[in-house]
Amino acid sequence: MCAERIQRFLMAIVLTVAMVLFASNQILYAMILQTLVVVMVIVWAIFDFCPSLWVFGKVFGNCPPKTPVK
């Protein structure tokens, strides 16, 4: 598996954990977790740099480029 896919799965898992924390009335931990995700996405949008993608790219390698369909 490549870095971009792992990062997407990780983001989905972290947001799911935040949702479960909200549902179990642990609002403080859920807000902290969700705030970290939001800050990471904002940094990614502003600087075009995602720290988790950088780390995963070093460990697992990047995804091969997709070829256009003819």
- Tell me which residue of 67, 65, 66, 61 sits closest to 2, measured CA to CA: 61
In a domain, 37, yes or no: yes
Q: Residue 57: how many CB atoms within 10 A of its CB? A: 17
In a domain, 36, yes or no: yes
The CA-based diameter of the chain, rounded to the nearest angstrom, is 51
- What is the tally of structural domains in the chain? 1
Q: Which two tokens stand for residue 43?
A: 């940094």
In a domain, 17, yes or no: yes
pLDDT mean across residues, the chain: 90
In a domain, 69, yes or no: no
Domain holding 39, by residue range, is 3-59
In a domain, 66, yes or no: no
User: Is 56's pLDDT higher than 90?
Assistant: no
In a domain, 11, yes or no: yes
Measured distance CA(47)–CA(70) in Å, rounded: 33
In a domain, 70, yes or no: no
User: Is 69's pLDDT higher than 80?
Assistant: no
pLDDT single digits (tens) 19-37? 999 999 999 999 999 999 9
In a domain, 42, yes or no: yes
How high is the pLDDT of residue 34? 94
Highest averaged pLDDT of the listed ranges 19-23, 51-55, 62-66 = 19-23
